Structure 1
């Protein structure tokens, strides 16, 4: 009985991590990785999974040091001082607002595609917030119940899409390879494999026992890797990269991976299923990010969650992204890239490395669990994140054209 219960908790913990990772970022991956090709994209996925699994295990080590502290900001303050606290705060806000912007624009685009005669491009993000913002105002209890239905829809339409779309794959489309251009998708891959924010919760769930928590992190972060590989093969095997309506054009227009499907499918059912999958992937991510930002702002600004307080928090959550959409309502890919390449890379990639390095070698903390590798591995992880950040800065500022297709 004990082993059965233990196994059940392990599966629940792993699925919680997988569910946190799989979301809207999945819709951007094939578009951002298109120019590099299928095989290079799988290598980038594996590399990103390894980094994010490693930093997740590092964060587990820190969570076990400070039992009961389910807050990255607090742990950053205890290991890195005031600078760590301020940096974590700023990165949290940047990451959550970039993700909110991405999902508001992405969901707005879906709303426009469903009702093109009723919703204009500029008003689509506002219409989405008007209809779905009240759920965020209602709070986490209603959203958590609704999210069970949304996650069921997400998995149902994912497997239905795989089943229907497998016969449409053209193997020749998967032979493209450009390792240099595959780096374009690295920032979005950071977003797609992000889950570390719930590691303190996972540690508490397993009563700070390192072994089951470690297995849950490895299994839970590994499941999205396999889901992304299958998804990548389907999208890149159906939609050509070049030419009118292809993946390169979708990238230039800031579209998600499902939009160009209608240009190349002979079975209209697959496109409809893909649209439903897009909706569930984006809406579950939207609710998770919006509720997370609401809790973070409520805690940081000391706002009580009364009706008046929740209304103020909703204004603080949605007004900044909506103002940005007035400038450009098609910022789905750009916002996800910034969220991953800057927010996830620094907050969920570099910060756990710095916390462990400071805790182990500056503060002399020794706990019951220590991630392997010592200083060399910590330095290697930090270097990887810094290199990715430099690539992101170069790409966003347009300082060079080396990442442009020939």
Structure 2
């Protein structure tokens, strides 16, 4: 793949070194807004609508700034340098090993989650068309297609993500235009339920919110794509995360405005996978058109997030394993990237919700804690001459606090020490 380095001196290739900011924002937005969004109404049903809005905005703010902290530190290193390179240099080999394990665990877990989700969605889509296709076979076929696109190049992922994300936004507004017209204020205010306790369910939502704003593995990929241009990369991160936040808020309004709080208990008990939530919305509205649009939207959502997450994992593994960027090197990287989660998806096709939750625990380390520590160490060593995240030390402390709170919440959840709306 041709280098996009801004340090290259050939003037005629300036256009090639200046790819569209829209494409980068679409990679970020497409990575974030994927299958994980379908877990949000289920896990946040205890907190309900207004509490969910507050927590989502807080999670967006913290994860955006942790992503910008990765950018700040990464700008001091060569284009293509990943977490492994900058973490080893700034925080030491021991922290790098622990951080590397968490990165691989999260990205592999999310890849597995999206294989599981894609199988579920394709099975539901095929069933709506009168066809029978098992989730295992659907997930396997879809994964092979994504692997081929990622193998081609970052530019191929950017173009495909832009196309699919555009289609997803169109499907989103077509779908939720219908859902918005059916929103019941009484449902949003939870007037039909006698249980008005919401905040006890706050902590259990945090790891899922963190995972639902997971784009951090793509920051080094963007620097590889745009070169050392912090202004444009910052615009990509801000634009992509704001798009995601807006879509999430509309999604929460539509789902919680159409499905009563009590009904989410049954959805959670049935596993909370995408097809269960789609069926619940379709049955509430009794509309074949809405059910069809939701099915199309879920396909686009899975595709976007699948592409973005696996691109981040692909570039990380290529850097760690030292595979080159030629076709055979990329083929080896693709094999290491996709074969393990494909095997997991084939053996355990129904693990979507559980995988998203476990990813949130490990993501706390590399997507929140490590970026804050990298920014602090980078400022001490280099002074951050190219770019510095605003807020100084208080911002670093806030990001670390958010990460610690997410980690403690998930550990308490695993110990059954947190109330869950079921």
TM tier relative to shorter chain: 0.7 to 0.9
| Residue 45 of structure 1, CA deviation | 0.5
Give the match's secondary structure for 1:370. coil
CA-to-aligned-CA distance 1:44-94 (integer Å, 9 cap, x gap):
101101101111221222123225354122111121121233133212210
Which blocks of at least 5 consecutive residues in structure 2 are unaligned? 1-14, 191-195
Whether the aligned pair in 2 keeps the contact of 1:18 and 1:224 (CA below 8 Å) is yes
Give the match's secondary structure for 2:214. coil
Match of 2:306 in 1: 286
CA-to-aligned-CA distance 1:293-349 (integer Å, 9 cap, x gap):
3443344334566569837843762344534663x432111111222x223221111
1:140 aligns with 2:156: no
1:343 aligns with 2:362: yes
Which of these residues, 180, 192, 200, is aligned with residue 212 of structure 2? Answer: 192
Q: TM-score, normalised by structure 1?
A: 0.85
Match of 1:224 in 2: 244
1:300 aligns with 2:320: yes
| Residue 358 of structure 1, CA deviation | 2.1
Which of these residues, 247, 250, 266, is aligned with residue 264 of structure 2? Answer: 247
Which of these residues, 307, 317, 341, is aligned with residue 338 of structure 2? Answer: 317
Match of 2:3 in 1: none
Cα separation, 1, equivalents of 2:179 and 2:36:
20
CA-to-aligned-CA distance 1:202-224 (integer Å, 9 cap, x gap):
45666545445444433332221
Cα separation, 2, equivalents of 1:134 and 1:219:
27
The 1:205–1:331 alpha-carbon spacing in structure 2 relative to 1, beyond 3 Å, is: closer
Which of these residues, 352, 362, 375, is aligned with residue 371 of structure 2? Answer: 352
The 1:54–1:324 alpha-carbon spacing in structure 2 relative to 1, beyond 3 Å, is: same
Cα separation, 1, equivalents of 2:379 and 2:311:
33
Whether the aligned pair in 1 keeps the contact of 2:179 and 2:254 (CA below 8 Å) is yes
Which blocks of at least 5 consecutive residues in structure 1 are unaligned? none
Cα separation, 2, equivalents of 1:198 and 1:359:
19
Which of these residues, 380, 403, 406, is aligned with residue 388 of structure 1? Answer: 406
Q: TM-score, normalised by structure 2?
A: 0.82
Match of 1:165 in 2: 179
Paired positions, count:
391
The 1:295–1:126 alpha-carbon spacing in structure 2 relative to 1, beyond 3 Å, is: farther
Whether the aligned pair in 2 keeps the contact of 1:55 and 1:348 (CA below 8 Å) is yes
CA-to-aligned-CA distance 1:164-193 (integer Å, 9 cap, x gap):
211111111111361221332222211222
Which of these residues, 395, 402, 408, is aligned with residue 377 of structure 1? Answer: 395
Cα separation, 2, equivalents of 1:58 and 1:143:
24
The 1:212–1:336 alpha-carbon spacing in structure 2 relative to 1, beyond 3 Å, is: same
Cα separation, 1, equivalents of 2:266 and 2:211:
22
| Residue 162 of structure 1, CA deviation | 1.8
Q: RMSD between aligned alpha carbons?
A: 3.1
The 1:21–1:131 alpha-carbon spacing in structure 2 relative to 1, beyond 3 Å, is: closer
